[in-house]
Each structure stands twice: as structure tokens, then as C-alpha cells.
Amino acid sequence: MAAPRRDTRGIVDATELFTRVHFRRREPAPPLRPYLEHYWLIDWDLPQPYASHVVPHPCVNIVFQQYEGQAPFAEVAGIGLGLFTQKLTGSGRVCGIQFRPGGFRPFAPAHPVTDWTGHRVPLPEVFFAATDAPTTILAPDDEDTRVTALDTFLLNLNPRPDPQSDLAMTLVDHIRTDRTIRHVGDFAHAQGMTVRSLQRLFAAYVGVGPKWIILRYRIHEALEHAEASHPPDWAALAADLGYADQAHLVRDFTTTVGVPPTAYARAVH
């Protein structure tokens, strides 16, 4: 695995977020890298409330959270199907684990990943011996110590190698990096699979279907273009992303983000 991503895909108005909170990504220990995208760490101390918004990636996260006046806690966050909004007030800290799409199942092999899709489940309901993990991970002020605690937590779960998980991760990465992939049937055929077998694999190991992932990565790319210094030619971008016309891009963007792309671009700038 390469170093953690530096892009801001999925973060709505990333520039504004970074002026409000201290956000960074860290790399996990080598044995964990095949399964994880990265760790993500956020600390804040805000004079006024702030709401962050994210168009989720097709990834499961484990999120350790500490908010002012509350006891630390942790959740398994399945893939969010809509826009995720989190209101931040006062001071606080979050340590997150973002798994690669398809990379969570080896840590919880008894459940298909669709069991978590659209849900946020208290950590002890998934990993029964993890009741003390939030305090252990969130308490240290030293960032390296927190990262080491995340490594220890995951390694103690003893992930089991699974060829189907490896296949799912490879296929989703292919969709993410190859924008010519637009139709599930064509993609399945190119991989020597039936559409049904591809859908079953994604349900069990990723948590959403391949069509959903193709559409979600389109929206991530459209968000990135909307935040560029020079807003795009939306009709040309729609064609480049594989939409039949600009209206289809506008519809998907508005449904996911909550505003049309042109309005979003104006607001960001």
C-alpha cells in the first residue's frame, strides 16, 4: 500500500473543514496495510459550533470518539448511503480507522458486510472484548501513541487472510481508478464473472453493489471539480463521467450533496 491518500474526495468544502479542525491521516502498521486505507485523526477546539459534511466512501470505519462533557465511545460505522453530517462543538477528538472497500470482513468474518451498511453499531456489539479500547486509544495526547494503540487494537483482532476479500478489494480499486468502467454488466464480463456473482461478492465483502460504487465515485469526482479554482464545463464533465447528459449528473449530485453542482461551486468559492 502507498502512503495515505492526500486527496479530499468526499469531504464537502474541505478547505472550510481544515480551517476549523486539525485533520490528518496516518499509516497503519505493515501487517494491517493490505486491509486499511489509513487512520484519520481529528482534534478541535471551537468557539462556535460547526457542522462537517461528508459524502461517504464505500468503506467501513471504526470510529473512536471523545466529545466535551461525554465519556469516550466507539462505533463500527457501516457504509453511509447518504450525506453524513456531524455537528462539532467545544473541544473533542476522533480517531478513525478507514478500511479498504472489502477489507473489513477479515476482522469480522461471521457477518456479511451488508449487515453494517447504513448503520452505526456500538463497538462492543461487534467486538465483545473491546470495551476498554476507546479510553486506551483516545486518552494519550501524543499522536504517535494513539496510532500505536490503533495498531495494537486491530492486530489483537487477528484478521484472517481471505482470497475473496482480496478479490473484492482489487475489483473496487479497479472501479475507483478506471473511469471507463460505467456498466456493471461490462465490468463483470471483463472480470470473467456473471453480474449475479459480482453482486454477491460485493454484498458479502463490500457492503454495497458495484453500480452504487460506480455512481458514488462519479459524485466524488464531480465534487472535486466543483471545488477547483475554475469550475468545469458541467456538460463536458457529465459526458466524461459517463452520464447520458448533464441533467443526470445534476440529479445525482443534488440527491447526494443536497444542492445542485453549480450552486455548490458558487458557495465554495
Rounded Cα–Cα distance for residues 61 and 78 (Å):
7
- pTM here is 0.92
Rounded Cα–Cα distance for residues 130 and 139 (Å):
15
Q: 3-state class of 40 per DSSP?
A: strand
Rounded Cα–Cα distance for residues 73 and 99 (Å):
19
CA of 16: how far to CAs of 38, 43, 116, 248, in Å? 22, 15, 30, 28
Q: Looking at residue 1, what is its pLDDT?
A: 45
pLDDT digits 0-9 by tens, 126-154:
998 788 999 999 999 999 999 999 999 99
pLDDT digits 0-9 by tens, 1-49:
446 667 888 999 888 999 999 999 999 999 999 999 999 999 999 999 9
